[in-house]
Each structure stands twice: as C-alpha cells, then as structure tokens.
Structure 1
Amino acid sequence: MTDRDPALTLTLGPDALVIRRRYETAVLANDFLIGLWFTLGSLAFLSPTYESAGAWIFVMASVQYLVRPSIRLARNIHLQRLRRRQAPSAEKS
C-alpha cells in the first residue's frame, strides 16, 4: 500500500475527506488568483505608463506561488494530526 492509496485516506473517515476538499479548494482559489495577477501584470506591460505597476504585480504573483506549497504543507500537517488523534481510538476497537 502506498501513501497515495485511496484506501488509506478512507480509513481516516469522512473528516479526512472534508479536510482534503477544503485545502484543495484553497489551492484552486490560490491558482486562480495567480493567473489573474499574471494576466493583469501582462496587460499593464502593454502600456509604458503602467510598466512599473506591472512589475510589482508580477512580484506579487511570484510571491503568491509560495502560498500553494504552504497550503499543501498545512493540509499534510492537519491530516497527520487527525491520524494521530484517531489512531488510539482505532486500537481500542
């Protein structure tokens, strides 16, 4: 059984599935915002007047790329804590 085996996730119960869905939604929202920032930055570069603003928008979008692994790390920590909490109860059954 590998770490990515769906059966492993199901053994955690519905809480794990809810957690995964919430964090995945956060990742998708973050990706959407990154795309929006890069689009706005690109449009700003079409006009010499807004090139500086465009550069700052690109910097913002690049920094936001750090949010994605942060969200995934938070999800993994959350799931690991859930496993630890549920492990003793599984041994008692």
Structure 2
Amino acid sequence: MSVNAYDQHQQKRNEYVDSQMAKHNRFYKDIYNILYTLNDFTIAVWFLIGSIFFYFESLKTWGVTLFVIGSFQFLIKPTIRLIHEVNARKHYGTEYDQLMK
C-alpha cells in the first residue's frame, strides 16, 4: 500500500471510528450520566459528613477517612471515562478493519 493510499485508509478509518463513537456516546450517555451523578452525590455526602465530623474531636479521624474516600472517588470518574473511550475506539477501529477485509 502506498503512503497516500495508507493515509486515505487511515483517514476513512478515523472518520468511521468518530461516527461510531458519536452514536455510541449517545446510546451510553444516559447510563454514564446516572453513574456520574450518583458518584458526585456520594462524594458530596462523604465531604459533608467529614466536615461535620471535624467539629468533634473524637470523630476527626473518621472525618479524614471520609475525605480520603471522597478524594478516591474523584479519581474513579475520569478513569472510567478514559478506559471506556480507549476501549470503544479500539473496538470500532477493529470493526472497521474487519469490514474492509
């Protein structure tokens, strides 16, 4: 395959993947929005309870623990989104390659 033909194939492949991702994102958007909202809500709960615990000396350790749990949940959201995006793009790229055989 010549360089120009390869570039055209790659461009068409990328266009196919992008169009499939647009459909994919619409289909899964509602599910992920619900999960993200639940995640955000629980983060807020952990931080609110943790903040209240700081008013009481005997509960400060639990307050810090809730802050750590909430902070960990902040890492979960973009990690899930990134893994999902990479895997979906890989899937649609492979699908395109299979269609072009």
TM score, norm. by length of structure 2: 0.64
Long gaps (5+) in structure 1: 1-7
Counterpart mapping for 1:12-51 below 5 A: 12=20, 14-51=23-60
Matched, 1:54 2:54: no
Aligned length: 84
Residue 79 of structure 2, aligned match among 63, 70, 77: 70
C-alpha deviation, 1:81, in angstroms: 3.2
> Using a 3 Å threshold, how does the CA distance of structure 1 residues 77 and 34 change in structure 2: closer, same or farther?
same
Q: What residue ranges of structure 2 are gaps of 5+ in the alignment?
A: 1-16
Separation of aligned partners in 2, 1:64 and 1:87: 35
Contact 1:37–1:57, Cα closer than 8 Å, also in 2: yes
RMSD: 2.5
Q: Does structure 2 retain, via aligned residues, the 8 Å contact 1:38–1:57? A: yes
CA, structure 1 residues 86+64, in 2 after alignment: closer, same or farther (shift >3 Å)?
A: same
Name the one with the larger helix percent: 2
List structure 1 runs of 4+ shifted beyond 3 angstroms: 13-16, 88-92
1:88 Cα deviation after fit: 4.2
